[in-house]
Structure 1
Amino acid sequence: MDQPEGLTAVGEEQKVCRLQRSIYGLKQASQSWNTHFDEVIRGYNFIKNDYDPCIYKKISGSSVAYLVLYVDDILLIGNDVKMLADIKAWLSTQFSMKDMGEASYILGTKIYRDRSRRMLGLTQSSYIKKVLKRFKMALKTRSHSHEAWD
């Protein structure tokens, strides 16, 4: 790519700019990334889900871990904290990554936990409120016709 007009460096008029593909992307970049990720993760004994190719499972004795891939974000779920820590450590040797801690939101869905009661839940109430507001359907008061739903 030629240097943009007005930004030519003195003494370097003959040089050209090199595009960074990571910024501009390629048509097949996401498929290439997904294929690479799939090969690497299967090498660590993860099994791809037959029904959803973005979900992987790893079983070791009574320990189970699920890895959910969405573009380049990973959600890791399991029943063994040490196994999850080992997987995170291994992933960080394979990919440039940042551990964001426990997930509280994913794709507009809130994740809530109550460890004392051994409960895990999902809710989209914030998303629903946002959609209702967007379409001017948000109610300020309850309608009597909907009391049966409570």
Structure 2
Amino acid sequence: MQAEIGALLENNTWSLVPLPHGKKPIGSKWVFKIKRHSDGSIERYKARPIAKGYNQVEGVDYHDTFAPVEKLVTIRTLITLVVIQGWSLHQMDVHNAFLHGDLDEDVDMAPPLGY
């Protein structure tokens, strides 16, 4: 959990500030996952804080949403190109990935329990 919080602070994803008067924070919680090697042994434990966005009201707390995701057809096309061209393909695991974008509004989120 500390490694994840450290990465969020280091990348200026968010900062801890006092809650402005009259604001209600969005709740948050931890999501835990165990990453395993191909033989099933434990590689590492992962923790990720997430916002409880289901408490928000469209038009009041937010106006639109966008989340880029990969499509399976794109992955299959890429693998097909690799095979046809005889290229090598490597897998890597990214510990922390951050999308670079600016928000037009402030988002007030309570820190997850345990922090």
What TM-score does the superposition give when structure 1 sets the normalisation length?
0.21
Higher strand fraction: Structure 1 or Structure 2? 1
TM-score (norm 2): 0.25
Q: Greater Rg, structure 1 or structure 2?
A: 1
Q: Which has the higher helix share?
A: 1
Q: Which has the higher contact order (CA 8 A, sep 6+)?
A: 2
